Chain A
Amino acid sequence: MQKGKFLTFSLGNEEYGLPIVKVQEIIGMMKITSIPRTPIFVKGVINLRGKIIPIVDLRLKFDIKEKEYTERTCIIVVDIKQDQTNRQIGVAVDAVSEVVNIQEDAIEPPPKYDEGEKEEFLTGIGKLEDKVVMLLNTDKVLNFKGLTKIDVLNNIDRGEV
């Protein structure tokens, strides 16, 4: 539960936040090249000044109903750490709100769900004067590396006639 500055954004009716230190930049929506056979919340990849980075749609990740992208839809480019390497992943969100400073005593531990997985996505709940912000654990939420392995077994299918 680190205190500090968080970038908050909205998804549906909820407000979420991620540590500002992890935010590389915020860009407007751009053409996303979709990649077949990836989890549904992986929208595809974009060209960020010559670098190809994946885009995750958090709505789909959190099972919130998908919404059409508008001009307000943004991509937050986040630094994530995985297997000792640093990478960038873009997160598509409805709209970016503001940067807020949240003190330690204003952060509560994340609620416990039955499915252990969901619990890991949040590092805590930030209580601000006028709203509640769900603080995301970016390294866990945006990690989808293990998920494309589902196809490993499917590959064996290709031997089938």
Chain B
Amino acid sequence: MENNDNNFDIDDEFLQDFIIETNEHLEAIEMNVLDLETEANNEQIIHSLFRAFHTIKGLAGFVNQDLIQKISHKTETILDLCRKDSIDINKEIANLILESSDFIGEICNDISLVSDQEFSLRISEFLNQLETYENNIQKKDFEIKEEIDDNVSNQKLQDKKRIGEILLDNNTIDEEGLEYILAQQNNQPDLKFGQIAVKNKKAKAKDIINGIRKQKSSKSLDTNDSIIRIPTKKVDNLVDMMGELIITQSQIEQEAEQKYDNNDSFFTKLLNMSRIMKEMQGLSMSLRMVSLKSTFHKIARIARDTIDELGKDVDFIVEGEETEIDRNIAEKLLEPLVHLVKNSISHGIESSDLRQERGKDPGGKVMVSAYSNKGSVYIEISDDGIGIDLEKVHNKAAEKGLIDDTKKYSDKEIQEFIFLPGFSTIENVNTISGRGVGMDVVKTKISKIGGKIEIINNPGEGCKFILKIPINLAVMNGTIISIMDNKYILPTLNIKQILQLKKEDWVEVKGEKRMIRLRDSVIPIIKISKILSEEPKNEAELVIVLEMDKQYKALAVDDVIGRREIVVKPMSEEFSNLDYISGASILGDGAVSLILDIEYLFKLNGA
């Protein structure tokens, strides 16, 4: 290992990137080879394989990984011959490809192998093998119609065994593995049984192939999706520009409204354009969407490591990994999620003994589940541990001088103390949840991506953190209002009604307007002066009825200016603590306008 540290000092970061990328390619290679078993002459797959090795070769060159370069070069050459001469990938070639992939994988797992004598010997032998085979192909000295799969073109249904059974029979997988894979099939509908097995490390690709070869049935041909790899920067630029385009278009619409009659054909064309642009916007946004799969896989690994490290009996479950989210957000989610999960495992779940005393199962359960709803993605991290000890939290906060200890706080408020900067009930600083990395950092990171955290605490029974994150910092439909000559934006989604009120509709308490009457019910008013330090002029009769989660509140405004598609821009970090704004936007007149945060408005008490 020592030698390598010296050699790879400079390239360390590059090397890490190389390893990550190469592993991705190796995974794809395995998947492709499995597909090839049933479509030996599928040109696209052969192309994919060629490209994969070709890429690995190139990348290896950058980080001076000679061995990997040699292996990929030889493999790529063989693949090249196959695709040029339209040669089917026979059994032997498939095996060689897998072996190449395995060798490269071995090096990636342990880079020191490149200086290991024995390993190098094995590689040399293998390279010779490849060379020999290459020559054979050149000389067309091989069996063309190798029997990969006797009945690959045989559409007749025969007495066939399912691949799962075959693998079970020859002990490639065990019962547990079989069930696991079957369960996974629901989550990964586009992967075949064998692929899922390999992906989840339940079986080696080689064994799957052998199993498939034993199988006497034909699988249906899957269509291969062609994929393009694009630098994310390009996509980001595209999305940003689309945003600017929409703003400009909005400005044009505004002017047009003033100059042209609604019926003018110009207007119709303008509306057509805006419809097309909205679609384009949606498409460009979708380019950036990724599923939470890889994020969840990483978390699962870390969770299992933590469980092992602590020697606890905890079951870690992940759900909803196919939920999609903007890739930038997915990247930023990882750290806070890891922290919350580690937290649950180490501090949430109590020891088996304690659990049994309480009548719980000895093993604890930590679950992360994701789902999307109405433009937001929800991620819940729940455990069935001891929950948050409110008394402990309150005392700690008081001890650290973070709160006013003469005041009486509600349970919900005490829960939120854990988010106060400087708070931590972890007596011994351990590496589990990180030094000084508290919940406050988690909250900040979540709000940076435009999200919120909610705590549902059940002392003694468990705790649940719900993260609500916008699917993308998108274009949304906003209603522009003005209060005291300042414009603000409200999400149109949350607007139930706009009312012009009369004096009788106001309900006053102690001389102050507190509520409004609406049909049979009474709706509380949002005291906006608590935030804006100003109120709409007293005569305000214009009221907007806002809705959130089936609750209603009213906001008095001076004017409602209009509805627009607006591009939501996040507020810069300095303002990340201002809960009452959920972002800003640039209006038609070029000025910045703040988007009021509906959740905050609803949390404000109308006093």
Residues on A facing B (Cβ under 8 Å): 31, 33-38, 42, 44-47, 50, 52-54, 82-83, 85, 87, 144-145, 148-149, 151-153, 155-156, 158-161
In the complex where A145-B574, A148-B574 touch, is A155 in contact with B579 (Cβ < 8 A)? yes
Expressed in whole angstroms, the Cα–Cα distance for A161 and B603 within the complex equals 11
Q: Tell me if B586 is interfacial: C-beta within 8 Å of chain A.
A: yes
A37-B409 Cα distance, complex, nearest whole Å: 23
Question: What are 23 A-B residue pairs whose CB atoms fall within 8 Å in the complex?
Answer: A31-B590, A33-B486, A33-B591, A35-B578, A35-B594, A36-B580, A37-B531, A45-B571, A47-B590, A50-B243, A52-B586, A53-B572, A54-B575, A87-B574, A148-B576, A148-B577, A153-B402, A156-B409, A156-B413, A158-B605, A159-B412, A160-B607, A161-B607
Chain A residues, Cβ within 8 Å of B594: 33, 35
C-beta contact mask, B525-540 vs A, less than 8 Å → 1, else 0? 0000011110000000
A residues in contact with B578, CB < 8 Å: 35, 37-38, 148, 151
Chain A proximity of B441: nearest CB distance (Å) = 11
For B575, list chain A residues within 8 Å (CB).
Answer: 35, 38, 54, 148
- Docked-complex contact B574 and A33, CB < 8 angstroms: no
* Docked complex Cα distance between A67 and B113 (Å): 70
What residues on B are CB-neighbors of A36 within 8 Å? Answer: 531-533, 580
**Known contacts A33-B592, A37-B580, A151-B579; 6 further A-B pairs (Cβ under 8 A):** A35-B581, A37-B531, A38-B575, A50-B243, A52-B569, A54-B574
- Whose C-beta in chain B lies nearest to the C-beta of A145? B574
Question: B409 to chain A: which residues have CB within 8 Å?
Answer: 156, 159
- Is residue B244 within 8 Å, beta carbon to beta carbon, of the partner chain? yes
Residue in chain A with minimal CB distance to B416: A156
Say yes or no: is B318 at the interface (Cβ < 8 Å to chain A): no
User: Are A158 and B590 in touch, CB under 8 angstroms?
Assistant: no
In angstroms, Cα B574 to Cα A151, docked, is 13
Inside 8 A of B515's CB, which chain A residues have their CB? none
Instruction: Give the distance to chain B from A36, nearest Cβ to Cβ, in Å.
Output: 5
- A61 CB to nearest B CB, Å: 14
B584 located at the interface, meaning its Cβ lies under 8 Å from any Cβ of chain A in the complex: yes
| Interface presence of B263 (CB below 8 A) | no
Most chain B CB within 10 A, of A46, A83, A156, A160, is at A156
Task: Name the residue on A nearest B419 (C-beta).
Answer: A152
Beyond A31-B590, A36-B533, A46-B592, is A87–B605 a contact (Cβ under 8 Å)?
no
Answer whether residue B320 sits at the interface, using C-beta atoms and an 8 A cutoff: no
Cα–Cα, bound, A83→B575 (Å): 15
Q: Are A52 and B410 in contact (CB under 8 A)?
A: no
User: CA separation between A52 and B243, bound complex, in Å?
Assistant: 14
CA–CA, A139 and B471, complex, Å: 33
**Chain A hits for B591, CB < 8 A:** 31, 33, 47
Chain A residue contacts of B580, Cβ below 8 A: 36-37
Closest chain-A Cβ to B62's Cβ sits at a distance in Å of 26
Give the residues in chain B near A87, CB-CB below 8 Å: 572-574
Q: Which of A33, A50, A83 makes the CB contact (< 8 A) with B244?
A: A50
CA of A144 to CA of B572, assembled, Å: 12
Indicate whether B336 reaches chain A with its CB closer than 8 angstroms.
no
Measured CA separation A151–B419 after assembly (Å): 13
Q: How far is the CA of A50 from the CA of B569 in the complex (A)?
A: 9
Q: How far is the CA of A98 from the CA of B605 in the complex (A)?
A: 52
Q: How far is the CA of A54 from the CA of B607 in the complex (A)?
A: 31
A152 and B420 contacting across the interface, CB-CB below 8 Å? yes
| B548, chain A: closest CB distance, angstroms | 15
Tell whether, in the assembled complex, residue B244 and residue A158 are in contact, meaning their CB atoms are under 8 Å apart: no
Q: What is the 8 Å Cβ interface bit string for chain B, positions 170-203, against chain A (1 contact, 0 not)?
A: 0000000000000000000000000000000000
A139 to B240: give the CA distance in the assembly, Å. Answer: 28
Docked Cα-Cα span, A156 to B586, in Å, equals 31
Using an 8 Å CB-CB cutoff, how does the interface string of B411-451 with A read, 1 for contact, 0 for none?
01100100011000000000000000000000000000000
User: Taking CB as reference atom, which chain A residue is nearest B241?
Assistant: A50
Report how far A127 CA is from B357 CA in the complex, Å.
Answer: 76
Within 8 A of A (CB), among B236-284: 240, 243-244, 247
Q: Looking at the complex, which one of B243, B573, B586 makes contact with A145 (CB distance below 8 Å)?
A: B573
> Would you list which residues of chain B between 531 and 554 have a CB under 8 Å from chain A?
531-533
Q: How many Å from the CB of A147 to the closest CB on chain B?
A: 9
Nearest CB on B from A133, distance (A):
27
Would B573 and A34 count as touching, CB distance under 8 A?
Answer: no
Which chain A residues border B412 with CB–CB below 8 Å?
A: 159
| Contact A54-B603, Cβ < 8 Å, known A38-B578, A155-B579 | no
- B186 to chain A: closest CB distance in Å? 41
Residues of B near A38 (CB, < 8 A) are 575, 578
Residues of chain B lying within 8 A (CB to CB) of residue A155: 579
- Chain A residues closer than 8 Å to B604, beta-carbon distance: 158
Contacts of A52 in B (CB 8 A): 569, 571-572, 584, 586, 592
Please measure, in the bound complex, the distance between the C-alpha atom of A148 and the C-alpha atom of B574, giving whole angstroms.
8
